[in-house]
Chains A and B, each alone.
Chain A
Amino acid sequence: MKRLRKPGILILLLIMATCAGAAEIKYAYKKGSTYSYRYTQSTSSKSKAFTVSTAESSPPVSYDFSVKSIDFQDGAFILDVGDKAATYRRYIRENGEIKGAPAEAGQGIPFFLTFPEGDWKVAEKRQVRKSLSLGNKDVMAIWSLLLKSVDNEKGLAEILFTANLSLPEDQLRQKGFSLKGRVVFNMLEGVIHQADWQTTYKFNFSNKAFAITRNLWVFEKQSSHTLAMTGIQE
């Protein structure tokens, strides 16, 4: 009996630790509330042709917008997203998946990341895949998410995310794209508190005739994005 007691305690401790390190990440916009955000973006790009390089960078540019929660119907929040100049109505599920965007018909809605449903354990990885079509080609896009930490006292969960996108390439066109970021989710309010992410794009263009291959141009682009909540109005 004594022999069984020690492993039993360990298992119990492990279960308790696991329960404490898990969280349910889902949006919970309150009907009638307005959530204000500031989105900041900065970009830099480089191009290189032989020994000649050019560079261009733009200083951070900010854009304030709000999310007005209208209602919750058929498993989706009805939100008005935008500013005074333009507002877009969106239907968003609790996990962040977009259900509809009537004001953006025909524009091609981006592939947004979605949080896993139910309990999500700390250090657990999740993936969301989608095939993006461009003309006759299909390109696979993958969002990978990792729940890094959960602060139950503050009600904040930190999630790391990356995007993998296999851009069409061939022997003469070598490309790479990466997106890495982190989001702090306010579990008490059910909204994003803060997020920042960076993207990197590289395109190497070569020329080939018969057996001779020559590098011609290299293009690189980086962008940094920050999203911060600036207030909630009930």
Chain B
Amino acid sequence: MKRFSICLLLLLSATVSMAQSHGSDITSPFRLWLLNNEARVFSSLATDEILTGKVVSPFSLLPPTRLQTGKAEEKLWETHRKIYVLLDETQNIYSVARKYGNGRFAVITKQARPETWSLMPLLAATPEIIRTVSPLFRKTFHNTLLKSMNLDPERDIDLSARLNKALKKLSDEEFRLMNDYFGTFAALFPSDPSIRVLKSFIETGSRKPFGTGLKELLRPSVEPSAPTKVATAQAAEPDDPLAELEKLAQFDAGLTDSINPDPDSKADEKQPATLEPPPPGTEDLFNIWD
């Protein structure tokens, strides 16, 4: 019975993780469709070339032709390669925005404070060392964390600009072709929601900023000297890790609408618009709460 329960649990967790990964993957169905069509056309063109090559030289006195000719379809495949690069970039941007764009992860890392906890044993003996070492610890931890998450502050600080930069690599004509493909895919597979999300994400994301909660993660507003303050005055209110964790727990539980429910807090005014859940009944692209 226990074995059965474990198997069932594993199966359920696998299903949930698959569903989650599928939900964040908005480019694969379209990409596979285009790749599959390309493969079918490659096969047909190659077969036809072999067959027509058998009659294109009518006379037996003609030696095997060695003249190479240009192929217009190569330009089309080149455009497709550009589209694939754009899809990769779009998927990456979407995943980053979905994972970190709400700012929750920034709050968690803000509270991790390894420089505080790791230097705690030195607090009693040599508090002067903490003052100089802790900013370095914080900076190193932050840089390592960003690297491990494949985030680049320069690149990811403005995801909308990053998306626009990727879109500019396509010419107007190439962009129009991609939109035509999106339309065809949507018409052929109306039950597939990924193409609607992808299309809307490209259209909306290139116009208005999104994932603004990422800014706090990439360039935290906390002063490097703050840990020292925390070390000396553990109960300092705004940077109290435990207090913030409590707020976060309340927010996760749905007890509060915002991570910083205090109406007087200036930090609350700076929270990105995406932190607000969309009105009921409307599909929000940047809904990263579920």
Which residues of A are interface residues toward B (Cβ below 8 A)?
35, 37, 39, 41, 43, 45-47, 49-52, 54-58, 61, 63, 65, 67, 79, 81-83, 86, 88, 90, 92, 96-98, 104, 107-108, 110-113, 132, 134, 139, 141, 143, 161, 163, 165, 167-168, 173, 175, 177, 179, 181, 183, 192, 195, 197, 199, 201, 203, 205, 207-209, 212, 214, 216-217, 219, 221, 223, 225, 227
Q: Is the interface of A mostly helix, strand, loop or mixed?
A: strand
Cβ contacts under 8 Å, B52 to chain A: 165, 167, 177, 199, 201
| Number of chain B residues close to chain A: CB under 8 A | 43
What distance in Å separates the Cβ of B58 from its nearest Cβ neighbour in chain A? 5
Give A181 to B56 CA distance when docked, in angstroms: 11
Cβ contacts under 8 Å, B47 to chain A: 134, 168
Give A134 to B87 CA distance when docked, in angstroms: 37
Question: Please, could you name 7 A-B residue pairs with CB atoms under 8 Å apart, sorted by A?
Answer: A51-B180, A54-B72, A92-B61, A112-B58, A163-B58, A183-B59, A203-B48
Which of B184-192, B213-221, B264-272 forms contacts with chain A?
B184-192
Which residues of B are interface residues toward A (Cβ below 8 A)?
37, 40-41, 44-45, 47-48, 50-67, 69-76, 79, 173-174, 176-177, 180, 184, 187-189
Q: Is the CB of B184 within 8 A of A45?
A: no
Q: Which of A52, A177, A207 contacts B48 (CB 8 A)?
A: A177
The A-B contact count (CB < 8 A) is 160
Given contacts A41-B69, A132-B51, 18 further A-B pairs with CB under 8 A are: A41-B65, A45-B70, A45-B72, A47-B76, A50-B180, A57-B70, A58-B70, A63-B66, A104-B64, A112-B58, A141-B54, A143-B55, A179-B55, A192-B61, A201-B52, A203-B45, A216-B37, A221-B71
Q: Is the CB of A214 within 8 A of B184?
A: yes
Cβ contacts under 8 Å, A86 to chain B: 63
The 10 closest A-B pairs by CB, nearest first: A54-B75, A43-B69, A209-B188, A56-B70, A50-B180, A45-B72, A56-B72, A112-B60, A47-B72, A163-B55
